[in-house]
Structure 1
Amino acid sequence: MSYLFPTYAKWDVKPKTAKGCYLIDQSGKTYLDFTSGIGVCNLGHQPDEVKEEVLKQLDGYWHVSNLFQMENQEIAAELLAKAAGLDAVFFANSGAEANEAAIKLARKATGKSKIITFEKSFHGRTFATMAATGQDKIKQGFGTMLETFVYVPYNDITSLEQEMDEDVAAVMLEVIQGEGGINVGDAEFLKSVEKLCHENHSLLIIDEIQTGIGRTGKPFAYQHFGLNPDIITVAKGLGSGFPIGAMVGKAELKAYFGPGSHGSTFGGNPVAIASAIATMKKIFSEAFLEEVKQKSDNFMKELEKALLELPIVNEIRGLGMMIGIDIQGNIPAILAEIREEGLLVLSAGDSVIRLLPPLTVSLAELKKGLDIITKVLKKHCLAAI
C-alpha cells in the first residue's frame, strides 16, 4: 500500500543516484536521462558549481522570511532581470506560483480581468493557472472554471483579433507549447500578438517555465523572435532542481505589487536562491549558450536524417534542446521500450516523444540517445507492416 495520492502515473524506475546526464536505479541499471527532471536539470544532475554554492548557504542560514533584506535575492534578481531585459522580480516556489503572480499583477495593473490564452497551452494546476490552461483534460472534475479566461487556437492571429478588445488585461502564451506537444510559435504570429497587445493596452505575458534558462540556446525563448514582453514567468531550470520560480516584469508594474499585494512564505528561499545564482552564472554566459546552439542544431539535423524516413514519424519540431518527435503509435508503450533500452524520454500531447536533454549533454551522448530512439521506432515500423 502507498500512502501517496495517486496523482502521478509513475514509471517502474526507482532512482538511487544521478550525476551529469545519467541516472542509476536501485537495481544498478544506468539510464541516459533526456528528461532533465522535465526540463529542470539544465546543467545535468548534481552540477558541481551549484552544489558548492548550496553547501555554502547551508552553513549560513536556511530560512529567515521575506521580512529580511537578503543580499543574494538582490543578486539573483539582477541576474534574471538583466538576462530578460526587464526590471523587477518576484520569487516564488514553482511555475504555477509564478503564473499565479503574473495573472494577479496583470489584472491589478490594468484594472481589467479578461485574459486570453491558447488551445493546447499549459500554465499550471492551481485554480487560476488551471483555468488559464487551454486543455480540457486538465480541468475535468473540478467544476466551473474562472470565467475570465478565453482560449483561441495557437498560431491563428485571426482568431485572436476577434477576441481582442479594450477589456483584455493580458494575452498569455508559451513561445513553444511544451505539454501541448512541442508546438513552436510562428514568428509573424508572435509579433502580431505583441502588436495587438499594444494597440489594446493589454499586457503580454510569456510563460517561459519550460523554455527558459537556456533551454532553447538563448536565455529565454522569446528572444529568438525579438519580442518585448511586459511579464515573463520562469521556474524549472532556474534552480537546477531546487524549488524556485519567478515572475519578471517591467519597471512600471512595480507600483502595483507593493507590500501586502502578494507574498510567498518560502519564495526566494536562501538555499534555492544560492542554486539559482550559480545556475544562471553558468548558463547565461555567451560561450555556454553558443555551445548549446551548436549541439542542438547538429542534433536536430541528425534526428531528421535518421527518423524522417520512417513511416510512423510525422514531424520533428522544436528549438534548441526542446524537441518533439510526432509519431503514429502507442506513445506509452514506445516510451517504456525506450526506457528498457536505457534512455529516459517524455511524452507531450497525444502523439509526441519529448526530448529535454541536459544542456551539458555531449555529442556522443546525443548520438547514443538517437541510436536508441531509432532502434525502437524501426522496430515499431516493422510491427506495423
Structure 2
Amino acid sequence: MSTYIAGLLRDRAGQNFSLHEEHLNTQMVRVLKAIGYDRVYTRGQGPYLYDNQGHEYLDLLSGFGVYALGRNHPTVIQALQDVLTSELPDMVQMDVSLLSGLLGEALLQRCPERLTKMFFCNSGTEAVEAAIKFARYTTKRDRIVYCEHGYHGLTMGSLSLNGENVFREGFGPLLPGCAAVPFNDLAALEQALAGKDVAAFIVEPVQGKGVNLPSDDYLPEAARLCAQYGTLFVADEIQCGIGRTGKFWAVEHWGVEPDMICMAKALSGGFIPVGGVAMSSRVMEAVFNRMDRAVVHGSTFSKNNMAMAAGLATLKVIEEEKLVENAARRGDELLAGMRQLVDKYELFQAARGKGLMIALEFGSPKSLSLKAAWTMLEAANKGLFSQMITIPLFKNHRILSQVAGHGMNVVKFLPPLVIGDRDRDWILAALDEVIADCHKVPGAIWDLGKTLTGHALKSKAG
C-alpha cells in the first residue's frame, strides 16, 4: 500500500459516517444508524468482515453477490499485481487486447454451445442495456418483455425493465415498448409474444427480489415460445450466475439455452467491476455487421486489463476450489436445516432457493397473541417483520443479511461460495435462536418491533 493511502486510512480512521453524512448519501447514513448497522469495518477476509473493535461478522450479503470468492482472495490479488507490474499497454482502443480474448474464450467454454461471442462492459446494468440494444437491432422490433418483481438494474433502459415500482417512481418517462408479465405464467407470456413484435424476453432464471423459483417447465417453455414467435430469450444471470445456484449458470438447472446471457457481479472477483453478454453469433453478426459499425456499441473501460485479469482469476478459483459444487452442497445443507425450523416455528413458513441463493419466508401466525403483534407490524409497514429477523441476526449473532425486497416478509441469504461447516452451523444456530425469540410475546424482539413500528409511522407522516 502506498504511503499516501496508508496515511489517509490511518489519519482519517473512523470518519466513515461523518464523511458520508456531509458529502454523500445522508439518508443512507440515517438508515444504518436507525437499525444499528453503523459499524466501522476495517478488514475483510473470505466470508468474514472485521470491525474496529475486532469483532468478526459472517457476511451473507457478499456485496449483493459480488464476493462469490469471499473478500481479498489471494489468487485474484496476485493476478492484479501481475498486471500492475507488467507495464501492459492498456485500453489502446485502436487495438484488441490479449486478456479480453482469453476471458471471452474461458467464459464461452462454460456457456451453452450456441453462445459463441462475448461483449464486455463494466456492470450488470450495462450488460442489460447492451442486451436491449442488441435484441432490438437483431430482430428489428421495439418491444421488450420482462417479469413482474424482476430486477435488471437502475440505468434508464434497465430501469424500464425493473419490476419494482419503488425504483421507477419519479424517474419517468421510461423506455417505451416495455411490458411486464407475471413471473412463472406461460399463458401471460404467450399472450405478450403472440403479436410477433417483441424483440426480447429478459428474465432472471431465479428472481433476486424474493428468490422466486420457476416451475420446472417455465423456462424451457418460455424459450420455446420465444423461438416460436421470433423473440430473443435473454437470461439475466447477473446475480444468479457464475456458480451461485450450484450450477455455473442457473439456466443449467432447466436445460435451457438462451440467445444471450447477461453477467457481472461475481465475475469481478470482488475487485474490478466487469460485466458481459454472451450471445449467439447471429446476434453479434447482426449488430456488428460491417466494418463501419465495428464501434457502434462499446464502453471505454470495458476490456481494461485489470478487469479481464480479475475475471480470469475468478474462473480459475471457482474451478480449482470447486466452488460450484460447494455452493450446491452447502445450499442443500442449509435448506435442510432451515426446513426443520419451518416445522418448529409457526412464523417461519418456507425456506427455498438454489445453491447459495436462499430465501426465508415469514407469515401470519395462528396463535392469537402472535397474530395481534404481527398485525400491528403489518399495519405500520408491510414487510416490517423481516427486519425483526435481520436486525437481531446482526446485533446478537454478527450475521449480515438483507430483506429480500420491498413490502415482503422474506429474508435473503447470499453467502460467499466459500462458506464451510462452521459457517453453516453458525447460520442455523443463530436462526433457531432469533426465530424462537420472535415467538415470545412480550419480549425483547417485539420491543424492537415497536421501535420499528414507530419509525415506520413517523416516516409515513413525514
Q: TM-score, normalised by structure 2?
A: 0.80
Whether 1:104 aligns to 2:162 is no
**Post-superposition shift, 1:290?**
2.5
Cα deviation, 1:218-260, whole Å, max 9, x if unaligned, reads: 1110011000100010011111112111111011112133212
Question: What code does the residue aligned with 1:343 have?
Answer: I
Distance 2:262 2:75 in 1: 24
Whether 1:40 aligns to 2:28 is no
Which residue does the alignment assign to 1:163? 192
Question: What code does the residue aligned with 2:101 have?
Answer: E
Cα deviation, 1:177-222, whole Å, max 9, x if unaligned, reads: 00x2100111211111011100011100000000011001111100
**Contact 1:65–1:266 (Cα < 8 Å) also in 2:** no
Higher Rg of the two aligned structures? 2
Map residues 33-112 of structure 1 onto 2, 5 A cutoff. 33-61=59-87, 63-85=90-112, 86-112=115-141
Question: What code does the residue aligned with 1:338 have?
Answer: L
Structure number with higher helix proportion: 2
SS, match of residue 187 in structure 1: coil
Which residue does the alignment assign to 2:387? 332
Distance 1:75 1:109 in 2: 26
Show structure 2 runs of 5+ residues with no match: 1-20, 289-293, 364-383, 444-462
Equivalent in 357, 365, 370 of residue 322 of structure 1: 357
Question: What code does the residue aligned with 1:326 have?
Answer: E
Question: What code does the residue aligned with 2:351 have?
Answer: I
Which residue does the alignment assign to 1:12? 38
Show structure 1 runs of 5+ residues with no match: none
**Contact 2:146–2:180 (Cα < 8 Å) also in 1:** yes
Whether 1:243 aligns to 2:273 is yes
Of stretches 225-234 and 278-287 in structure 1, the one that deviates more from structure 2 is 278-287
Cα deviation, 1:109-153, whole Å, max 9, x if unaligned, reads: 100011110000000000010001111111011122222111011
Question: What code does the residue aligned with 1:282 have?
Answer: V
**Post-superposition shift, 1:61?**
4.2
SS, match of residue 50 in structure 2: strand
Distance 1:261 1:383 in 2: 62
Alpha-carbon distance change, 194 to 317 in structure 1, aligned in 2, over 3 angstroms: same
Distance 2:401 2:427 in 1: 9
Distance 2:106 2:403 in 1: 32
Q: What is the root-mean-square deviation of aligned Cα atoms in Å? A: 1.7
Of stretches 24-33 and 129-138 in structure 1, the one that deviates more from structure 2 is 24-33
Which residue does the alignment assign to 2:431? 373
SS, match of residue 18 in structure 1: strand
Report the count of equivalent residues: 384
Distance 1:26 1:311 in 2: 38
**Contact 1:35–1:356 (Cα < 8 Å) also in 2:** yes
Distance 1:317 1:343 in 2: 19
| Identical counterparts, % of pairs | 31
Distance 1:66 1:308 in 2: 59
SS, match of residue 2 in structure 1: helix
More relative contact order in 1 or in 2 (CA 8 Å, sep 6+)? 1
Of stretches 79-88 and 54-63 in structure 1, the one that deviates more from structure 2 is 54-63
Which residue does the alignment assign to 1:303? 338
Distance 1:141 1:240 in 2: 34
Which residue does the alignment assign to 2:449? none
Distance 1:345 1:150 in 2: 32
Distance 2:65 2:133 in 1: 26
Of stretches 12-21 and 97-106 in structure 1, the one that deviates more from structure 2 is 12-21
Of stretches 229-238 and 52-61 in structure 1, the one that deviates more from structure 2 is 52-61
Distance 1:159 1:141 in 2: 27
Distance 1:232 1:97 in 2: 13
Question: What code does the residue aligned with 1:334 have?
Answer: I
Which residue does the alignment assign to 2:18? none
Question: What code does the residue aligned with 1:111 have?
Answer: K
Equivalent in 287, 300, 304 of residue 265 of structure 1: 300
Which residue does the alignment assign to 2:411? 353
**Contact 1:307–1:374 (Cα < 8 Å) also in 2:** no
**Post-superposition shift, 1:282?**
2.2
Q: TM-score, normalised by structure 1?
A: 0.95
**Post-superposition shift, 1:305?**
1.3
